[in-house]
Amino acid sequence: MLLRSAFVFSCDCPYSPEELEEVLASRKFSGIGQLDVDHLGWINPKEIESAPLVHVVDSIYLVALQKESKIVPASTVKKKLAAAMAEAEKREGRPATRKERKALKDQVYESLLPGAPTRIKHTFGVLVPSRKQLLVLTSSAKCVEDFHGAFTDSFMKRGMRPSFRKLRTVEPPSRKMTEWLLNNECEGGFMLGEHCELTHEKSKVRYTAHELDRPEIREHLLEGKSPVKLGLRHESTTTFIITCSSADDDLGFSKIHYGDNDGKSEGDASADEIFDADLVFSVTEFLGIANELFEVFGGIAADADSLASEVESL
């Protein structure tokens, strides 16, 4: 399993796999109810029934949150609501009030839930207790919100509250990203990639698969636009995109590719062995690169645990 996107959090979670298993078991996925809009719960990361909820590889803990959501098309609700409204107005002999229309819409929606198809989504988390770090493997802020809520709730059901904090750098990433684009040069072991997105209020400009030394990019920056996404290349040949929609937002990583080492199989290794080897390799590589990038951004702000020390062997 190769890590392709991630948000990095500090997480003071010095628990053994067995202790973490007990915590997550309080919110084990149990299936969506007939009238539920969605349902969240922990599953085995390899989707093996009755297997542990915590998959351990070396010093890495892998967990998986499953979300099952009902799909009720708005067009179907609108059609059935129109029929129900017509029937109600004919029966009452008058137009429905706003309150009555809302109540009827809720009734129609609830009547469609039991037979509605569902969609399943998985969000993985990687805990590295020795570094007090948690990686949420997604590029979606909503998935991070769901993971945070379920993770915190699982601990609170056991009378505990995990330390789960946003990781922010001393220097706002957008400021450093702007400097790099203006100078066409990065610091440390990084080089500009081929992707950037610049915004100002409602205006947005995006460049994909382009060299970023273009004069118009500089002009956009001087006019006041700020970078919210920037493609980077690390000297290890790993490429990725960093995202930060504002100075206070989490720094996200997406579209991570590991150059010549991406997707290499281990000869005659089994699927399980490849899964574990890829996980260890990509987490180790990612943390090393993240550590260097955070150093370039001035280190980790005081409200989060530091990643500034050298990455330990996993």
From the list 205, 203, 186, the residue with the least C-alpha distance to 195 is: 205
Instruction: Show me where the domains of the chain are located.
Output: 7-68+121-166, 74-112, 173-296
Question: Which amino acid is it at 58?
Answer: D
pLDDT at residue 303 is higher than 80? no
pLDDT for the residue 123: 97
Instruction: Answer whether 80's CB lies under 8 Å from 115's CB.
Output: no
Q: How confident is the model at residue 305 (pLDDT cuts 50, 70, 90)?
A: very low
Which pLDDT value is given to residue 154?
A: 92
CA distance 225 to 257: 28
Q: Is the pLDDT of residue 255 over 90?
A: yes
Average pLDDT over residues 191-206: 91
pLDDT attached to residue 309? 37
Distance CA 14, CA 137 (A): 20
Q: What is the mean pLDDT of the chain?
A: 87
Per-residue confidence (pLDDT) for residue 62, from 0 to 100: 97
Q: What is the pLDDT of residues 39-62, one digit of tens each?
A: 999 999 999 988 999 999 988 999
Dist CA 176 CA 180 (whole Å):
6
Residue 161, pLDDT score: 77
pLDDT on residue 313 = 36
Per-residue pLDDT band for 281 (boundaries 50, 70, 90) equals very high
- Please give the backbone phi and psi of residue 91, each rounded to the nearest 5 degrees, phi first: -70, -40
- Which whole number is the average pLDDT over 178-184? 93
pLDDT value of residue 194:
92
